[in-house]
Amino acid sequence: MQAKITAIGTYAPEQVIDNHYFENLIETSDEWIQSRTGIKTRHFARLNEFTSDLSEKAALNLARDYNKDLSDVDFILLATVSHDHVMPSVAAVLQHRLGIAQAGALDISAACAGFGYGVSLAKGMIESGMHRKVLVIGAEVLSKVTDFSDRTSCILFGDGAGAVLVEAAEKGNVGACIVGAEGNGGQDLYMSSQSTMINGELIKASGKIYQNGRKVFKWAVNRMTEQAKVLLDKNNLTIDDIDWFVPHSANMRIIEALCKGIGIPVEKALESISVYGNTSSASIPLALYEGIKAGKVKKGDKVMLLGFGGGLSYAGTVVEWGV
Catalytic member of 83, 154, 248, 251: 248
Determine, following the binding rule CB under 6 A, whether residue 309 of this chain makes contact with ligand UT7: yes
In the residue annotation, 112 being an active-site residue is answered as: yes
In the residue annotation, 251 being an active-site residue is answered as: no
Q: How far apart are CA 82 and CA 105, in angstroms?
A: 17
Nearer to ligand UT7, 111 or 319 (CB): 111
Catalytic member of 19, 43, 83, 112: 112
Tell me which of 81, 135, 216, 297 binds ligand UT7, using CB under 6 A: 216
Nearer to ligand UT7, 308 or 321 (CB): 308
Structural contact between residues 74 and 170, judged by C-beta atoms closer than 8 angstroms: no
CB nearest ligand UT7: which residue?
A: 213
Q: How far apart are CA 214 and CA 198, in angstroms?
A: 19
Determine, following the binding rule CB under 6 A, whether residue 21 of this chain makes contact with ligand UT7: no
Q: How far apart are CA 118 and CA 139, in angstroms?
A: 12
Determine, following the binding rule CB under 6 A, whether residue 288 of this chain makes contact with ligand UT7: no
Determine, following the binding rule CB under 6 A, whether residue 213 of this chain makes contact with ligand UT7: yes
Q: How far apart are CA 59 and CA 16, in angstroms?
A: 21
Nearer to ligand UT7, 220 or 232 (CB): 220
Structural contact between residues 270 and 8, judged by C-beta atoms closer than 8 angstroms: no
Cis peptide before 247 (omega within 30 of 0): no
- Name the 3-class secondary structure at 33: helix
With 0-12 / 13-18 / 19 or more C-beta atoms within 10 angstroms meaning exposed / middle / buried, residue 74 is middle
Determine, following the binding rule CB under 6 A, whether residue 19 of this chain makes contact with ligand UT7: no
Site mask, ligand UT7, residues 87-126, x = CB under 6 A? -------------------------x--------------
Structural contact between residues 284 and 307, judged by C-beta atoms closer than 8 angstroms: yes
Tell me which of 10, 251, 281, 313 binds ligand UT7, using CB under 6 A: 251
Q: How far apart are CA 101 and CA 260, in angstroms?
A: 47
Structural contact between residues 162 and 8, judged by C-beta atoms closer than 8 angstroms: yes
Determine, following the binding rule CB under 6 A, whether residue 220 of this chain makes contact with ligand UT7: yes
Q: Compute the least distance from the CB of residue 27 to ligand UT7, in Å.
A: 6
Which residues are known to be catalytic?
Answer: 112, 248, 278
In the complex, the residues that contact ligand UT7 under the rule CB under 6 A are 28, 32, 36-37, 112, 151-152, 155, 213-214, 216-217, 220, 250-251, 254, 278, 280, 309
